[in-house]
Amino acid sequence: MSEARGPEAGSLLKVRSLTKYFGTFAACNGIDLSIGPGEIHALLGENGAGKSTLVKMLFGVLQPSEGRIFWDGRPVSIGSPGEARTLGIGMVFQHFSLFEALTVAENIALSLDPKIPLAKIAEEAESLSKAYGLPLDPHAHVADLSVGERQRIEIVRALLQNPKLIILDEPTSVLTPQEADKLFETLFKLKAEGRSVLYISHRLEEVQRICDRATVLRHGKVTGDCDPRQETPASLARMMVGSDVAGVHRDSTTDLGSALVQVQNLSVPARTPFSVTLKDIALEVRAGEVLAIAGVAGNGQGELFDALSGEYPVGNDEAIRLCSKAVGRTGINGRRLLGAGFVPEERHGHAAVSDMALSDNLLLSRSQSDRSLFLAGGLLSVIRHDAIRATARRICAAMDVRKSGDDPAAGSLSGGNLQKFIIGRELDRKPAVLVVNQPTWGVDAGAASRIRQALIDLARAGSAVIVISQDLDEIFEVATNIAVISEGRLSKPYPAGDLTLEKIGLLMGGIHDSTAHSGATAGGVHAH
Ligand code: ADP
Ligand code: MG
């Protein structure tokens, strides 16, 4: 019927009834999409909606089960990324594929014709990076570069192929606000040249700011096709999650109990040339409290998490006390036995083993600390598979984990759903202390609000919770008290109600507590 109207005039890419099955599960189900030249088109949807699957089909990484793709009005089949590049499609993946030991230019050369001399590649990469406002030293080693710089390599690599369409899968989830602004300038430049951009994001404000059109996916189907500037964040969120996103509820007054986390004189030298030295950190978290630690990425967050969790025990046993026990030299399992839970930032390979089923991942994290729950039979310990599966099921139900089977491999879950599982796994143990690093990194609005509510509820039930986050909205949503980490130093804690965004900004920039305080007051930034 609509075929009779012919391909939409002027559309560069058009997708008809595109479907992808994994087994019997349709990750993409009858998707229609069309992108015009010079258009920045958003692909919106909560985690697991099918966004990455869709763009992998457009880039030839996955083959569609059903449906057709039209390029410049002609039906095409895109058998590989090489074929996609030849058509004029470039892609920047969610997870980078760079070799750390090689230089920027050497990495770029890997995806190009081996006959092109390296010097020429370096020269072109440098001039492109200048032209598009993506500063990059072609001779730098990737290992020395920040996440933002690594992403620039991927973008420059895609631009070297002179694409008509460039696809970016959640590019800003790894960037600071400043880096994101730079990226938007680059995208506007691409648009001005008549190139099209397919932009995956779950950040509604940013989609409204930069995108001309948005296609919204839910459970593998298109649930909206709109001009995002004509929508409100609430109406976009409704298309994504199907109902109003639940607000997070927090009691304004909370009675705090005894201190469950006590850190004093915690100094840890940098382990590698690229890590941060922790300098004389002190903090205290009481029962019923969420201490949120804000800061720009790379200021010691990972190092602080490693010290708190026992991933890297510290020399001074008294520097860290959990539930009144000195644990500085105790490893992660010993700290878990005391009732602490930890959720690291890096989900794949660290918090979960991708190839293993969810239930086996659950067993892995518990075998050391919760034997009673899973193992029966005195000397002859027997793994109780049914109990583990039931617990995995309970966690999935409690956190609304969307998955393609009863007990799939962890790696088959989308990032946000895996994160809900990992956080649910810790919450299910009802830990007295929970330390989480970037709890909603790359997670959609619905899942993020569920995770934040769960963290607040845990504290309300009497646990001490530490949330390390770069997301200031998140910090203000969950925090009882807020401290800021900058260059390995931690500020004193401020009650969340006493801090403004401006004051936090000063602390994040490394301005000393006293200066930040008087500066903020003198500037009259207190809105209330
Ligand atoms: P999004 O990018 O929107 O977060 P994805 O496209 O990554 O979502 O995933 C969509 C759904 O397809 C998820 O439920 C995910 O678990 C499933 N899925 C993705 N890749 C695979 C795969 N290789 N095998 C099985 N299921 C998969
Ligand atoms: Mg994805």
Residues 293/467, Cβ–Cβ less than 8 Å: yes
pLDDT digits (tens, 9 = 90+) for 59-74: 999 999 999 999 999 9
Query: Concatenated DSSP letters for 71-93?
Result: ETTEEE---SHHHHHHHTEEEE-
CB-neighbour burial class of residue 114 (10 A; exposed 0-12, middle 13-18, buried 19+): exposed
Residues 154/166, Cβ–Cβ less than 8 Å: no
Task: Kindly report the protein residue whose alpha carbon is nearest to atom 27 of ligand 1.
Answer: 412
Query: Concatenated DSSP letters for 37-57?
Result: TT-EEEEEE-TTSSHHHHHHH
Q: Is 248-339+431-528 in the same CATH topology as 13-241?
A: yes
Give dist(CA 324, CA 338) in Å, integer: 10
486 vs 500 pLDDT, higher one: 486
Model confidence band, residue 467 (pLDDT cutoffs 50, 70, 90): very high
Query: From start to end of 363-454, where are the E strands?
Result: 375-376, 382-383, 433-437
Give dist(CA 61, CA 81) in Å, integer: 6
The pLDDT of residue 145 is above 50: yes
Distance separating the N- and C-terminal Cα atoms of the chain: 59
The per-residue pLDDT for 247 is: 55
The pLDDT of residue 341 is above 50: yes
Model confidence band, residue 519 (pLDDT cutoffs 50, 70, 90): very low
Q: How far is the CA of 53 from the centre of ligand 2 (A)?
A: 7
Q: Per mean pLDDT, which range of 107-111, 389-393, 440-444 is the poorest?
A: 440-444
Alpha helices in 317-384 (DSSP H): 332-337, 358-366, 371-374
Q: Would you say the CB of residue 48 lies under 6 angstroms from ligand 1? A: yes
335 vs 271 pLDDT, higher one: 335
> For the residues 169-193, what does the mean pLDDT come to?
87
Strands 340-343 and 433-437: parallel
Ligand 1, residues 18, 20, 22, 215: which to mutate, most atoms within 8 A of Cβ?
22
The per-residue pLDDT for 371 is: 52
Which amino acid, residue 263?
A: V
Q: How far is the CA of 394 from the centre of ligand 2 (A)?
A: 25
- Where do the structural domains in the chain lie, given as residue ranges? 13-241, 248-339+431-528, 351-430
The per-residue pLDDT for 124 is: 92
Question: Of the candidates 452, 34, 393, which has an alpha carbon nearest to the alpha carbon of residue 222?
Answer: 34
- Please state at what angle helix 233-241 crosses helix 445-460, rounded to 10 degrees: 90
Separation of CA 302 from chain center:
15
Residues 435/309, Cβ–Cβ less than 8 Å: yes
Q: How far is the CA of 47 from the centre of ligand 1 (A)?
A: 9
Residues 248-339+431-528: name the CATH superfamily.
P-loop containing nucleotide triphosphate hydrolases (3.40.50.300)
Whole-angstrom CA distances from 66 to 12, 35, 131, 388 are: 20, 20, 40, 37
Place of tokens 């105790």: 330
Q: Would you say the CB of residue 50 lies under 6 angstroms from ligand 1? A: yes
For residue 368, list its beta bridge partners. none
Ligand 1 atom nearest the C-alpha of 94 is: 2
Report whether CATH 3.40.50.300 matches the domain 13-241: yes
> For the residues 157-171, what does the mean pLDDT come to?
93
Give dist(CA 94, CA 52) in Å, integer: 9
- Looking at residue 6, what DSSP letter applies? -
